[in-house]
Each structure stands twice: as C-alpha cells, then as structure tokens.
Structure 1
C-alpha cells in the first residue's frame, strides 16, 4: 500500500538520529571560512605539499597505456590487489615487525576505521578515545550509533601522552563477574581502545613501553586495541615509530600523507591472522557493502609508491623541520614546547593552548581568518576547548614562513589583549 503525505513540507521528513547526532565535519567548516576571506592561508587540513613519487605515476601511466590491462576498469578483489597485498605483508614484516598479520586495502584510513567500527562494535559497546581525539574517529562512531558510549580518556595536561594508569583502572575495576562466568551487571569494560600514533591532533609520539603496556592491558581485559598509524613515517629528532603485535591489536595505515596521495584514497587494515579467516570474513562484509573494492588504478599508484619506499618519504619529511621551526617560533607569544605547546615529535601538527579566557576557540579561529588571514583547527573539534591544532606540512617553506608571520601577529595580539579584542573586532 502506498502512503501519500498530504500537504507535506520538507520539514515533514527527517534524517536518521544517528546522523543528526554526528558532529559537523570541521574541515568542511574550515574550508568554508577560508573561502569567505580571499587571500587566507590555511594551516588547518592535514595534507602534505608534495606529489606522489615518480614510481607511482609511472605505474599508473603504464597501466592506462596497456590495452590488455582491462581489469583496471572493472571490480577487483574486495580485499585488494593481490600484488599490493603481498607487498604490504612484506612491509608489515620487515618495517613494522608484524609477522602473522594480513591486510585489507581500503579507501583511505578513515574508511579503514569505519570498517573496524562496523565489524567489531555493536552500538551498545563502549570505546575509548583520548582527549584530544581525531574528529573523524568520533564522527565514525557516532554515525554507527555508538556516540553515547564513547569514554573519553585523559591525557597528561603538559605532554598530552595518554594516562595509562587511568586506562588500567578502567580496564580492571569494572565488569563485575559471577563465579559461573555470567555478568552480574552490565559490562562496563570498553570493547575497544583507540590510539593514534603519532597523534592527530597533538603531534605526540608514544614510546614502545607505552604502546606495549596499552596492548597488554587491553589483552588482559579482552579489549581490542586499534592503532591508527597514518603518520608512521612522520617522526622527528631521531625518534622511532613502533607497532605492537597481538591477537587483539589492529593497525590502520595510509598512503595519503607519506606519499602525497590524499586524493587517490588508499589505506589498509592490518589484522592478526590466526588461520581461521574469521576477522577477514567479517571485514569483507563491510568492504563489499561500501566500496566493494578500492579504485584499481589507485592501487597501482600504491604499488609504485612502495617501490619508492621509506627512503623517498624520509627526504620529504626532512624538509618539514623548517616548517615546524617557523610555526613553533610563531607560537612563542602563547607558549613553548612543554609549556602551552605540545607535539613536534611526530605527525604534522602542533597543539597550542590559547591564552586564559580564550576557551571559545571557534571564535578565535574566525577572528584569525578575518583579521590575520590564517586558518587553524579549533580544539573544540577535538573535544578540548581553548586550544588550536596547527598543521605545518601543506606548503613549502617559503609559503609556510609567510603563514607563520600572520599566525605570530595573531598570537601576539591574543597574548596582549585576550578574548576582548576578538569579541570587539568581530562585533
């Protein structure tokens, strides 16, 4: 039977409560703000200024020029191109020390995370995100119906490293179990803990000891540990990135940042393979429903990128030290590393506390655009008001220095006049 709504208006129809409760995308908002003021420079979105390596482009050109390579125009295997998966397994063993892990290729790390949320969590399951969190992680959980069950873990207010003592207490104090193994009360122990390392948004890099402790705590509690390693290649000052292994440890990776392949949309999930194929089969249910497979030609580009390898990426990352320095200098009016400023250890971000009274960071960001023509990400988007995230990889050093001058002028005004000047000039 067909039901006709008489005199219906657009307001009569609604979207899902899940999507209504999902945060607005902060990058979309920042682009809108940038576009509203011509000449604005953005230090907001996390992108790099370089293009993919020549090996990636050569593979794409070769595949497109080959009249027999008709497969690139069709569907490929859901889990990814076999040659790419084999190359990634080799990389996992020899670079990440993750033998026994298999891979599922995804349309970037954001899709990888969403696949994991859909495959491993029910809406009623709780999950830990650390404050400040990566905004797209929260949005993914919200869209999947679990927004009310996010537990926000505290970080050290100076270093912004996760408080693992808090995590240990959370994982050991909850979940009252009867002797017969049945739960007496609703299980409160979270099913999943998420860590981004190096961290987006803070640029903090966790140590091997911290990561091994987190993995061990999660294993003992029967919880999954998900590590987003999007910025694995972005480590500074002789630090090293580390991946813990374990039957409960899932890893996410991306080609976007390291290889300048943001628009090609290639990432992957690395998961422990015990021979049962259970994890793979559950992930494929999600994969086949959403993208079916990652774009075939993008996977060719990824194969070429792996041929260039970490040595090529290291050359690009080395140049970011100049950008990092000029942005740190620009932030001096409001703080220094370890005193109001965190990060610089890894990833492509610095995290800054705004002067006292500037908790309305959205207002500050708007003022910086309209007065100084430089855009940042407000800390509110990451769950911590009164802060800003500053990216330093999306432009070459000369342009970054120009952006830093604008940023420093804004920080000097904020340090001297506080929120009063912001409100006055936006009135």
Structure 2
C-alpha cells in the first residue's frame, strides 16, 4: 500500500496524478495568494485561527484598540464609583445646574409626546424650525451672521464631530491647562496623539498667548486646531475679548482652526458680558444643557462658517454615523425653551452668585490667593496645600470623611488642584455643602488627611 486510509490496495496512475495535483495546488495557493492577500500580522492571525502558532495565543480577538485603552478614564465615572452607596455625600462635583427646563416648554412636550414624528428620525443636522430659531438667536445675541447650524446630542458630541471632521490621526492640536477633560479625551480617542498643552497665567488662568504664537510659528507640523472654552471649564475664568481676538488672528495667520466652546455663554458675573467671534477659521459650540437645565435631554449645536467650502457636508458624514440626528423630543423641547428667552436663564444665574460666595468663603482655609475663577461658568479652581497635593486622594478623603464631593484637578491637567461647582445645588443645600467643605479643608490645612 502507498497511503494509509485508502481502501484500495493498488492505484491507477491517474489517481496518483490527481492526488499530487491537489497537494501541489494547495501549496502554491498558500505561498502566492496568502503572501499577497494578507500582511505578515494577518497571516500569523490566520494560522492561529486554524490552530497553529503554538502556545495557545489568541488572534486579534480580545485585544482592544490602543486609542481607547490609552484614553484617560472619565473622571465623572470615577466619581460615580467613589460615591456609589454613599448617599450622604453632597456633590459639588459634576457641572450641572439645579433647575429644570422652562415649565411652559415642558407642558408643551406633554402635549406632543404621542405624535408619530417624535419617534421617527429627523434631518441629520436638526429640525428645520429649530435651526432657523437658532440662526436668529445667533444673529440677535451672539452677533454671528455668517454661520450654519448643526444640532447635536450635546456640546460634547458637537466637539467630537468637529474633531473627526477637522483632524487626522497624528495631527497636532493645542489646548490650555487646566483644560476640559472630555475635550482632551476626544482628541485621544480619535487618534490625535500630538496634543500640545499650554500653560495658563497662574493669577488669571488666561491662556499664555505668547506661547501659542511661538508654537504656531515653530511647531512641525503646524497645529491643525486650537481649542478654548470661554468662560472656562474647569477654571471659571473669562478670556477678555482683545485676548481671544489675538488668539483668533494667530490661528488665522497660521492656517489653524479655532474651536470655541460657549456652553456657559449666559453664566457671567460682576458685570461681564459674553461675546463670540466669527471668521472662516472659527467654529463655535453651544449647549442647552446648563442654560435651560436640559442636561439629560442632550441637545447642543455647532455654529460653523458657512463660507468654509465643504465643511457642512463633511460634518454630516460624522453626524450620520454617530447619532444620525439628535433626539427629536429633545430638539422640540429646545425649540420651546428658546421661547422663554435669555432673561429666564439670567434670572437663575443671578441666584448662583450667593452659591459662589458661600463656596469661596468655605475655601478660605486654603488662602485667598489659592482660589481662582468664578468670573463665569459655575466653577472655582483651588490649589491644595503642598503637603497634600495628591488631589484624587484629597477628593476621596473629603467624600468619605466629610461628606462632600469635588473634582480632582489632575483630570484637567492640573494636579494638586480641585474644581468646585456652585451650580448644582440650591442655596440652602449649598450652605450645608459649603460648611462640610470648610471643615474638611480646615482639617486638611491644619492636620492633614486624618482618617
């Protein structure tokens, strides 16, 4: 016999030729086709899936994308884990407001909730009537007359849309510390690995514009995008108009985009007034979350230059692959909320002034020069004592021992600091939280983190 397993005891010549042809044919297929169809890594994976490779190694299954793994963990998820099961903790952590959307707007939502259109898809870039109302708002309040609108599922998604549309993997971008942590994460997650973080003035928390000028002139590659939040999150600082105009001019001259997050446009104090800049290189972001108490409804919008050739079409590609469209019922609520007008918001923002004062007083144990911000938005930014500079441990200690939660500054590129929000509680509850914070910081300064 010639081959084991064959039932015949003898072979015809033709049978042997067929057998050799099949064997050689398979070998040639593996040699030539696989070497061209699969790169070396893919060939190794293919062998492992066939059972080869040895050592019980896996293929690509089970391996996660580096851009996701290397992205910073969401600080708010960490805070939720820290506070889980501890119902007595009062939160000065998350950037929220205590009020609900306008009552008249909510009543209108009750009337339309069963309309068939509420459960269907809408236009990718937003309901036409909402976009028209927003264009009018931009013209009237923000003095933006050359912008197009895209409605998104909040300002965070608006920022992701912009990054995916304007930046390629490996591009350079610019931020200023302390930065908004979700913006930093968005860059990481979309493959933007060259994130240039500039310092801010330690007294004012304003961006170092001289540093920016140098970076835009000397960095190779030239940064594709510069990101600022005004007024700031987490800093609570407000960039003066002449300074932002200089930043805009530097970006325009360098061929870089300027993306301005205006989420807190109505949250201005001490007589300061918000403003927006317009230009073919400027993208403005806005949100309904804080102004109208619509955090959970997830509605924001992008105002981008309508003269930027092809920009809207590219944004639509991203939009169609993330939410398709923002929540229809959320968009309808946003439309009705606009009817309440900016004075409805400002009336509530004025009530936050007392909250700000209570918390600034509560942080007095850190020293007057250690507490910054509060010019706009809903945040104070405070430096911890040198002997207790591990900000996340301080945050954990304040929550567990003193029953008050704040955000660690390291999440925003500011280790050794904490962010305190004065928007989420009514004045009566803010008083209680402020007293807890004051006792905790007093103990921290005098005795350290005593357990």
TM-score by structure 2 length?
0.86
Give the conservation status (yes or no) of the 8 Å contact 1:34–1:41.
Answer: no
| Residue among 191, 202, 206 paired with 2:239 | 206
2:76 paired residue number: 27
Give the conservation status (yes or no) of the 8 Å contact 2:175–2:195.
Answer: yes
Say whether residues 1:173 and 2:218 are aligned partners.
yes
| Residue among 274, 296, 300 paired with 1:263 | 296
2:432 paired residue number: 402
Q: Distance in 1 between matches of 2:397 and 2:81?
A: 14
1:415 Cα offset (Å): 1.5
| Residue among 80, 90, 100 paired with 1:51 | 100
| Residue among 130, 133, 136 paired with 2:179 | 133
Runs of 4+ in 1 over 6 A off after TM superposition: 4-12
Give the conservation status (yes or no) of the 8 Å contact 1:348–1:392.
Answer: yes
**Deviation sequence 1:207-260 (CA, Å, 0-9, x none):** 111111111110000000000001111000110111111100000000000000
Query: What residue ranges of structure 1 are gaps of 5+ in the alignment?
Result: 175-186
Give the conservation status (yes or no) of the 8 Å contact 1:207–1:242.
Answer: no
2:140 paired residue number: 94
Q: Distance in 2 between matches of 1:233 and 1:197?
A: 11
1:189 Cα offset (Å): 1.7
Decide whether aligned partners of structure 1 residues 38 and 101 sit closer, same or farther in structure 2, where only a CA change above 3 A counts. Answer: same
Give the conservation status (yes or no) of the 8 Å contact 1:97–1:243.
Answer: yes
1:357 Cα offset (Å): 2.2
Q: Distance in 2 between matches of 1:20 and 1:91?
A: 40
| Residue among 138, 163, 166 paired with 1:117 | 163
| Residue among 308, 321, 324 paired with 1:289 | 321
1:169 Cα offset (Å): 1.6
Q: Distance in 1 between matches of 2:237 and 2:245?
A: 17
Q: Which has the larger radius of gyration?
A: 2
Give the conservation status (yes or no) of the 8 Å contact 1:158–1:340.
Answer: no
Give the conservation status (yes or no) of the 8 Å contact 1:350–1:391.
Answer: yes
2:7 paired residue number: none
Task: Name the SS of the counterpart of 2:68 in structure 1.
Answer: helix
Decide whether aligned partners of structure 1 residues 344 and 16 sit closer, same or farther in structure 2, where only a CA change above 3 A counts. Answer: same
1:283 Cα offset (Å): 0.1
1:181 paired residue number: none
Question: RMSD in angstroms over aligned alpha carbons?
Answer: 1.8
| Residue among 391, 396, 400 paired with 1:370 | 400
Say whether residues 1:193 and 2:226 are aligned partners.
yes
Q: Distance in 2 between matches of 1:83 and 1:62?
A: 18
1:17 paired residue number: 66
1:381 paired residue number: 411
1:179 paired residue number: none
Number of residue pairs matched? 402
Say whether residues 1:326 and 2:358 are aligned partners.
yes
1:61 Cα offset (Å): 1.9
Q: Distance in 2 between matches of 1:347 and 1:5?
A: 58
2:91 paired residue number: 42
Q: Distance in 1 between matches of 2:332 and 2:59?
A: 44
Decide whether aligned partners of structure 1 residues 25 and 4 sit closer, same or farther in structure 2, where only a CA change above 3 A counts. Answer: farther
Say whether residues 1:356 and 2:405 are aligned partners.
no
1:5 Cα offset (Å): 6.9
Give the conservation status (yes or no) of the 8 Å contact 1:135–1:382.
Answer: yes
Give the conservation status (yes or no) of the 8 Å contact 1:55–1:307.
Answer: no
Say whether residues 1:61 and 2:94 are aligned partners.
no
1:77 Cα offset (Å): 0.2
Q: Distance in 1 between matches of 2:58 and 2:420?
A: 43
1:11 Cα offset (Å): 11
Q: Distance in 2 between matches of 1:398 and 1:352?
A: 23
TM-score by structure 1 length?
0.91
Task: Name the SS of the counterpart of 1:357 in structure 2.
Answer: helix
Query: What residue ranges of structure 2 are gaps of 5+ in the alignment?
Result: 1-45
Q: Distance in 2 between matches of 1:9 and 1:374?
A: 46
Decide whether aligned partners of structure 1 residues 231 and 73 sit closer, same or farther in structure 2, where only a CA change above 3 A counts. Answer: same
1:363 Cα offset (Å): 0.7
Decide whether aligned partners of structure 1 residues 92 and 354 sit closer, same or farther in structure 2, where only a CA change above 3 A counts. Answer: same
Question: Larger RCO: Structure 1 or Structure 2 (Cα < 8 Å, ≥ 6 residues apart)?
Answer: 1
1:392 Cα offset (Å): 0.7
2:344 paired residue number: 312
Say whether residues 1:411 and 2:441 are aligned partners.
yes
Tell me which moved more, 400-409 or 38-47: 38-47
Say whether residues 1:392 and 2:422 are aligned partners.
yes
